Amino acid sequence: MSGSEEYLKPHSRESWDTWSRGWDDLIRDWKNPHSIYYASCSLHIADFLPQKGLVLSLGCGTAECALRLRREGITIVCTDFSKGMLAKASENHRSDYKGHVFFVLCDAQHPPFKDSVFGLVYARGALLSYVPVPLDVLTEAHRMLVPGGVAAFDAMNWGKESTGSGYGSLSREDGDRISLFHWRNQDKKQIKETIYLDPKGRVAALLGEDKSIRFLYPSRQPPRGVLDEINEDHQDIGVMKAKSVKATDFPVYLIFSEEKLRRAVEFETVDKKGKIAWCFEPEDLKRPFQQAGFKILRMAPLGNLHRIVTGVPPSGVPGLTDFARQNLDKIAAIEKALHDQLSMEKAAHLFIAGRKD
pLDDT in tens, 271-305: 988 999 999 999 999 999 999 999 999 999 999 99
For position 169, what pLDDT does the model report?
Answer: 87
- pLDDT of residue 99 exceeding 80, the answer is no
Say how far apart CA 203 and CA 178 lie, in whole Å. Answer: 10
Q: Could you please report the per-residue DSSP string of 115-150?
A: SS-EEEEEE-S-HHHHSS-HHHHHHHHHHHEEEEEE
User: 9-159+281-356 falls under which CATH superfamily?
Assistant: Vaccinia Virus protein VP39 (3.40.50.150)
Mean pLDDT of the chain: 87
For position 221, what pLDDT does the model report?
Answer: 53
- pLDDT of residue 325 exceeding 50, the answer is yes
pLDDT-wise least confident of 117-131, 215-229, 340-354: 215-229
Say how far apart CA 357 and CA 353 lie, in whole Å. Answer: 13
For position 11, what pLDDT does the model report?
Answer: 87
Model confidence band, residue 161 (pLDDT cutoffs 50, 70, 90): low
- pLDDT more than 70, % of the chain: 88
Model confidence band, residue 105 (pLDDT cutoffs 50, 70, 90): very high
For position 231, what pLDDT does the model report?
Answer: 56
β partners of residue 224? none
Say how many Å lie between the first and final Cα of the chain, rounded.
Answer: 46
- CB of 87 closer than 8 Å to CB of 74: no
β partners of residue 269? 197
pLDDT in tens, 86-96: 999 999 898 65
For position 286, what pLDDT does the model report?
Answer: 97
Say how far apart CA 74 and CA 101 lie, in whole Å. Answer: 9
- The angle that helices 34-46 and 328-337 make with each other, rounded to 10 degrees, is 50
- pLDDT of residue 146 exceeding 70, the answer is yes
Model confidence band, residue 334 (pLDDT cutoffs 50, 70, 90): very high
pLDDT in tens, 200-239: 998 888 888 888 888 876 655 555 555 555 555 677 787 8
CB atoms within 10 A of CB 97: 9
Name the nearest CA neighbour of 303 among 156, 192, 129, 127: 156
For position 98, what pLDDT does the model report?
Answer: 58
pLDDT in tens, 6-40: 778 888 889 899 989 999 998 888 888 888 999 99
Q: Is the peptide bond before 313 cis (omega within 30 degrees of 0)?
A: yes
- pLDDT of residue 315 exceeding 50, the answer is yes
For position 1, what pLDDT does the model report?
Answer: 43
Phi, psi for 307 (deg, rounded to 5): -65, -30
For position 2, what pLDDT does the model report?
Answer: 44
Residue extent(s) of CATH 3.40.50.150 domains in the chain: 9-159+281-356
β partners of residue 179? 171, 196
For position 157, what pLDDT does the model report?
Answer: 94
The most confident of the ranges 64-78, 103-117, 251-265, 317-331 is: 103-117
Q: What is the mean pLDDT of residues 176-204?
A: 88
